Chains A and B, each alone.
Chain A
Amino acid sequence: MRLPLLALLARGPAHGYELKQDLEQLLGSAYPQPNVGQIYVTLGRLEKSGLIEGEEVEQSSRPNKKIYHLTDAGREALRAWFEEPEDEPRVRDEFFMKLALAPQTGLADQIALINKQRRRYLNTMRNLSKLAAAEDRDNRIAHLLIEGAMLHLQADLDWLERCQEELEELE
């Protein structure tokens, strides 16, 4: 959450609630929405580490609000974020460990493990399809997020299929 908030502040100063709304609008309903408390906590931490600065603004009929802006250090942190490519997803996979170790334990069957995992993925896939159908057609970013998740799941399902092919042959 830290860097997305910094990125939103790179445009110009904003207060916490504005940032929440911007994030929601950008990512659509697909992305699990951060609650406003989470955002305020993160902003507090960013301020403490000197990446943003807050300024109290008086409001006539409401409590003061704090408007944040990016510091030079914050801008630098953001630049470094964009600079670095991200880790590959799923380099460590707990399911793989279960599959590899199951036969030695006598406690679980590999094919049963695969079937259980597949059901889980298929249910998630179904939910993603529903989300995609419900999401505003024009929100491209939100659709790309959902599509990315679906393609990852598809790859995982393909891999489960490969596992099953290999392991069924051994039976």
Chain B
Amino acid sequence: MSESPTPLLRAEGLVKTHHGEGAPARAVRGVDLSVVRGEFVAVTGPSGAGKSTLLHLLGGLQRPDSGSLWLDGERTDAYTEARWAVERRKRIGIVFQFFNLVSNLSVADNVELPALLAGVTPRQARAEREELLSELGLAGKERSLPGELSGGEQQRVALARALVNHPPLLLADEPAGSLDSKGTREVMRLLSRFHQRGQTIVLVTHDARLASAADRVISFFDGRIVDDAELDGTPPRRTGISGVLELKD
């Protein structure tokens, strides 16, 4: 792969082993990965393959046992927890399967909080929040508490929160994992829309439908990358799409 522009994200030799009860679980076993600006990369694989651990390593939520990570060309090995927390406010937005919203804060406050923590003025935080919520079809829900919303709506709030500081990188960990099929389609549509505007996204999912929104799909098995495929979207010959849809004679 050509490395001409500095990758937004680069990992080399990442290893992470979980030590819990029983035998140590080697969740990530030597991963090299490079994501350039504007890419939408999906990481798929069976549950337990270590995809979420990989994403956590990329977002600094967990530290690798060995290997290195670069954000926009800057080595992160020496980052402290506090430094990672700042990065996750400014340069990396994250959405999770279970939304992780603050349950006793209103929708508006959930979205504005990371902006305020990043040092934005209250007025600007409010403006950003208003724009994002209306973009995500949540105008009118500002005063609701997360618990009063559907799963799909909560995930949209989480997306607004993740994007409020315009981070160059969005990480999504099974964002549709607890949603029904309508909610899944909604998340898919929104991720595609932000990607079309240039948002770099790394998405972890076991759902191939969701993964197919990406333009590059990495297959992850047993802690390793086993395939890394660009989806070009050109329909192959006669079979492929029309073959799949063809009603029989």
For the complex, is A98 an interface residue (Cβ under 8 Å from B)?
no
- Cα–Cα distance between A127 and B241 once the two chains are bound (Å): 7
For the complex, is A99 an interface residue (Cβ under 8 Å from B)?
no
Q: B221 contacts A168, CB within 8 Å? A: yes
Closest to B242 in A: A32
Smallest beta-carbon distance A108→chain B, Å: 16
Smallest beta-carbon distance A131→chain B, Å: 7
Q: A123 contacts B236, CB within 8 Å? A: yes
Q: A119-B227, A129-B213 are in contact. Are A153 and B244 (CB under 8 A)?
A: yes
- Cα–Cα distance between A69 and B2 once the two chains are bound (Å): 63
Q: B249 contacts A1, CB within 8 Å? A: yes
For the complex, is B229 an interface residue (Cβ under 8 Å from A)?
yes
Q: A128 contacts B244, CB within 8 Å? A: yes
For the complex, is A126 an interface residue (Cβ under 8 Å from B)?
yes
Contacts of A121 in B (CB 8 A): 208
- Cα–Cα distance between A157 and B209 once the two chains are bound (Å): 10
Smallest beta-carbon distance A160→chain B, Å: 9
- Interface Cβ pair total, 8 Å cutoff: 91
Smallest beta-carbon distance B180→chain A, Å: 13
For the complex, is A39 an interface residue (Cβ under 8 Å from B)?
no
Smallest beta-carbon distance B143→chain A, Å: 30
> Could you say which of A14-22, A52-60, A142-150 contacts chain B?
A142-150
Q: A127 contacts B235, CB within 8 Å? A: yes
- Cα–Cα distance between A158 and B229 once the two chains are bound (Å): 17
Q: A164 contacts B235, CB within 8 Å? A: no
Smallest beta-carbon distance B236→chain A, Å: 7
Q: A122-B212, A161-B46 are in contact. Are A30 and B245 (CB under 8 A)?
A: yes
Contact-residue bracket for chain B: 20 to 34
Contacts of A129 in B (CB 8 A): 188, 209, 212-213
Mask of A103-140 contacts with B, CB within 8 angstroms, 1/0: 00000000100010011111111111111110000000
- Cα–Cα distance between A126 and B217 once the two chains are bound (Å): 11
Smallest beta-carbon distance B235→chain A, Å: 5
For the complex, is A31 an interface residue (Cβ under 8 Å from B)?
yes
- Cα–Cα distance between A125 and B208 once the two chains are bound (Å): 8
For the complex, is A154 an interface residue (Cβ under 8 Å from B)?
yes
Q: B188 contacts A122, CB within 8 Å? A: no
Q: A122-B217, A127-B235, A127-B241 are in contact. Are A150 and B249 (CB under 8 A)?
A: no
Smallest beta-carbon distance A114→chain B, Å: 8
Among residues 138 to 152 in chain B, which have CB atoms less than 8 Å away from a CB atom of chain A? none
Q: A128-B241, A149-B244 are in contact. Are A123 and B249 (CB under 8 A)?
A: no
Q: A123 contacts B232, CB within 8 Å? A: yes
- Cα–Cα distance between A132 and B245 once the two chains are bound (Å): 12
Closest to A150 in B: B209
Smallest beta-carbon distance A120→chain B, Å: 7
For the complex, is A76 an interface residue (Cβ under 8 Å from B)?
no
Partner of A125, one of B209, B226, B245: B209
- Cα–Cα distance between A162 and B244 once the two chains are bound (Å): 22
Q: A123 contacts B227, CB within 8 Å? A: no
Mask of B207-249 contacts with A, CB within 8 angstroms, 1/0: 1110111000101011000110101111110001110111101
Mask of B139-181 contacts with A, CB within 8 angstroms, 1/0: 0000000000000000000000000000000000000000001
Q: A133 contacts B189, CB within 8 Å? A: yes
Q: B226 contacts A120, CB within 8 Å? A: no
Among residues 27 to 80 in chain A, which have CB atoms less than 8 Å away from a CB atom of chain B? 30-32
Q: A32 contacts B246, CB within 8 Å? A: yes
Contacts of B247 in A (CB 8 A): 4, 31
Smallest beta-carbon distance B224→chain A, Å: 9
For the complex, is B114 an interface residue (Cβ under 8 Å from A)?
no
Q: Which residues of B contact A (CB under 8 A)?
A: 45-46, 181, 185, 188-189, 192, 207-209, 211-213, 217, 219, 221-222, 226-227, 229, 231-236, 240-242, 244-247, 249
